[in-house]
Chains A and B, each alone.
Chain A
Amino acid sequence: MAGATPSALARSGKSAVASAGLQESRLVRLLLITVALLFIFVVLILPLITVFEQAFRKGVDVYIAAITDPDALAAIRLTLVTALIVVPCNTIFGVAAAWAISKFRFRGKQVLVTLIDLPFAISPVISGLIFVLLFGNQGFFGPFFIERDMPIIFAFPGIVLATIFVTFPFVARELIPVMQAQGNQEEEAAVSLGANGWTIFRRVTLPNIKWGLMYGIILCNARAMGEFGAVSVVSGHIRGKTNTIPLHVEILYNEYQFAAAFAVASLLVLLALVTLAVKGYAERKHEQARLDIEPQGGNQ
């Protein structure tokens, strides 16, 4: 649902010249706006500025050196590759799960819905520990993989697994309400018109859920790149090998290399800003497409 909400807000914004009956007095309005702006500044803007301020404190050269350090580059590479694996996996899973839950009746559906939420409910540290218990040295499957020289824990596969687990609900959670609200009538209509499953998905279902899906993917990606807790448990913090960006930031910080820590952290902040921009752009495009056709419909 969240995918639809922001654009709904944007739309109502145009008609938000509230009726006279809803107008508060000048003072109340001023007060509310001030409180909101102040809050946003302290909680959101100030930390953002601080990150960049700290990052550039010792000059651009230090900044560039920090992020082109081989260990930092390795961390960036690891984070990107992890996201590249995790996001498609969870997108496919999320679409499949949302499809199954919203379009079919089956036993244990409620259990599945609850299970999807599980990663949200447990602390990421516990999520990481689960994988250590499963694949670690003393774990159930650990010795099997270690004997075959394919360690999972303190290695790349563990990081991917932990990240998949933690970001598992995003796409499905975004899609389930959207798809449930839409029902399956359009799919049934497509079936009766002769379309097969894949065609129905591509031409009917996907276009109807694309904004929700987009939103889910963006959130999933942001979390996949930013995840700290679970990854910290399974990674082992091996510099240049199993350190992701957030872990690298932590190490630098612990070593009192504040400028470098903030420089690398600023990459994550940039990622967040890009995420926001992409999301905003997508929503505006969507809105525009809607407005382009509106005038014809207006005089009806």
Chain B
Amino acid sequence: MYIEVRDLVKTFNGHVASDHVSFSIRKGSLVGLLGPSGGGKTTILRMLAGLETPDSGEIYIDGKLVNDVPPQKRGIGFVFQNYALFRHMTVYDNIAFGLTVQKRRKQEIRKRVTELLELTGLSGLERRYPNQLSGGQRQRVAFARALAPEPQLLLLDEPFAAIDAKVRKELRAWLRATIERIGITTLFVTHDQEEAVEVADEIMIVSNGRIEQHGTPYDIYKNPQTPFVAGFIGESQLLDDPGSLTGFEDVQPGSKAIIRPEFTEVGTLGELSAPYAAQAGKVQSVMFRGSSWQVEVRTGQHTIQAYRSLEQKQLKPGDDIWVLIHRLYLFKDGESYVVENAKKAAAAPAKVGQSAAL
């Protein structure tokens, strides 16, 4: 493992920002620390960089304990949330700073900076000052500056937070491609799940100073291990008493369930993929969501959200309708399960056989 963090604790005036955090990261991976604001993501990042001293715990980089290594000697590139560019220096001098500090030769510095200007698409802007750049350009300068001394690890704190939505999308793709090209181990912090899913190979969900789950984005979506993760990733809704839902009668009493709109189908019996596992309901409201309808259905004691294709007949509030729930995430006593609709599963072999024959 390239980075190993063990039992990291950090408290600020009684507020626990990092609560026995442990994780490890492979060399070359691109990892996103995802979680709500104030959850301790930035603190973890700053401790890795040496800008914050942990109260206890160990940080290993490339097998070496770095707790007592000053930030200057850790070989880490850090991109700050609002970039922290040196305002009185030109783009060129900003990028060259880390190299001039190392007293490298002038030509060597020129070569490296030119290389980075090209990599970041900033050629021609080297004589500008930070206040003459757009948000996206500043971010790329910060990125180039952090990369200049050839760090072994790159840390980015909310790299896209200060950029407007349209440019952000472009930059994300660019950042991902660039990091892949250089092959540098990268850790970034974000509170935006879409961003984390799009950019990262692996995600760590951080909340209240703890790592809730660490895995690939798909794995976290498929198998959330805590109610927090299930609730934080994707759209979701908490249901009490899931045993009253058709197909989930065998669920242990006292469980809590989380359901996602994409687990649910609504429509007439004819429209549903497994009508025998559905239950009756009434449409409460219908909302246009751009690429689909979001339908709120009352069924038994539950109100459930579902998506419905624009191709299908439009529903109106008050319509009698059928609801098919494919699966639920169940949580009981700290354990989590994914439970499929039992009625659908019982009748499934016939369907499986059918599709196999096709």
User: Do chains A and B stick together as partners?
Assistant: yes
Q: Does A21 contact B (CB under 8 A)?
A: no
Q: A207 near B149 (CB under 8 angstroms)? A: no
Q: Does A68 contact B (CB under 8 A)?
A: no
CB within 8 Å for A192 and B49 given contacts A208-B87, A293-B127, A296-B127: yes
Q: Does B314 contact A (CB under 8 A)?
A: no
Give a binary string over B85-123; 1 marks a CB under 8 Å from any A CB, 0 the rest: 111110000000110011000000000000000000000
Q: Once bound together, how far apart are the Cα atoms of A293 and B127, in whole Å?
A: 8
Q: B129 near A297 (CB under 8 angstroms)? A: yes
Q: Once bound together, how far apart are the Cα atoms of A219 and B71, in whole Å?
A: 38
Q: Does B51 contact A (CB under 8 A)?
A: yes
Q: Once bound together, how far apart are the Cα atoms of A192 and B69, in whole Å?
A: 12
Residue on A with the closest CB to B94? A189
Interface 9-mer from B73-81, B330-338, B340-348: B73-81
Q: Does A193 contact B (CB under 8 A)?
A: yes
Q: A293 near B128 (CB under 8 angstroms)? A: yes
5 more A-B residue pairs beyond the given contacts A186-B84, A192-B146, with a C-beta to C-beta distance below 8 A:
A186-B86, A189-B80, A297-B131, A297-B132, A300-B132
Q: Once bound together, how far apart are the Cα atoms of A195 and B134, in whole Å?
A: 27
Q: B88 near A194 (CB under 8 angstroms)? A: no
Q: Once bound together, how far apart are the Cα atoms of A297 and B84, in whole Å?
A: 19
Q: A193 near B145 (CB under 8 angstroms)? A: yes
Q: B72 near A188 (CB under 8 angstroms)? A: no
Main secondary structure, interface of A, reads: helix
- Pick 8 A–B contacts, CB within 8 A, sort by A: A189-B145, A192-B76, A192-B146, A193-B97, A194-B72, A199-B101, A293-B132, A294-B132
Give a binary string over A182-212; 1 marks a CB under 8 Å from any B CB, 0 the rest: 0001101111111110010001100110000
Give the contacts of B123-154 with A (CB-CB under 8 A).
Answer: 127-129, 131-134, 145-146, 148-149
Main secondary structure, interface of B, reads: loop
Residues of chain B with a CB closer than 8 A to A190's CB: 86, 97, 101
Q: What band does the interface of chain B fall in when counting residues whose beta carbon is under 8 Å from A?
A: 20 to 34
Q: B86 near A189 (CB under 8 angstroms)? A: yes
Q: A293 near B146 (CB under 8 angstroms)? A: no
CB within 8 Å for A195 and B101 given contacts A189-B86, A297-B129: yes
Q: B84 near A188 (CB under 8 angstroms)? A: yes
Partner of B88, one of A185, A208, A294: A208
Residues of chain B with a CB closer than 8 A to A199's CB: 101
Q: Does B285 contact A (CB under 8 A)?
A: no
Residues of chain A with a CB closer than 8 A to B145's CB: 189, 193
Q: B51 near A191 (CB under 8 angstroms)? A: yes
Q: Does B82 contact A (CB under 8 A)?
A: yes
Partner of B72, one of A186, A191, A300: A191
Give a binary string over A155-185; 1 marks a CB under 8 Å from any B CB, 0 the rest: 0000000000000000000000000000001
Partner of A193, one of B50, B88, B101, B131: B101
Q: Once bound together, how far apart are the Cα atoms of A256 and B236, in whole Å?
A: 92
Q: A191 near B128 (CB under 8 angstroms)? A: no
Residue on A with the closest CB to B12? A105
CB within 8 Å for A193 and B98 given contacts A185-B80, A188-B51: yes
Give the contacts of A236-262 with B (CB-CB under 8 A).
Answer: none
Q: Once bound together, how far apart are the Cα atoms of A194 and B145, in whole Å?
A: 12
Residues of chain B with a CB closer than 8 A to A300's CB: 132-134
Give a binary string over A263-300; 1 marks a CB under 8 Å from any B CB, 0 the rest: 00000000000000000000000000000011011001
Instruction: Give min CB distance, A8 to chain B, whole Å.
Output: 14
Partner of B77, one of A188, A191, A192: A192
Q: Once bound together, how far apart are the Cα atoms of A204 and B145, in whole Å?
A: 14
Task: Point out which of A192, A294, A296, A297 has the most chain B C-beta atoms below 10 A from its C-beta.
Answer: A192
Give a binary string over B138-175; 1 marks a CB under 8 Å from any A CB, 0 the rest: 00000001101100000000000000000000000000
Residues of chain B with a CB closer than 8 A to A192's CB: 49-51, 71-72, 76-78, 146
Residues of chain B with a CB closer than 8 A to A194's CB: 72-73, 98, 101-102, 149
Q: Once bound together, how far apart are the Cα atoms of A196 and B73, in whole Å?
A: 10
Instruction: Give min CB distance, B44 to chain A, whole Å.
Output: 15
Partner of A204, one of B78, B86, B132: B86
CB within 8 Å for A188 and B132 given contacts A194-B102, A195-B72: no
Residues of chain B with a CB closer than 8 A to A297's CB: 128-129, 131-132
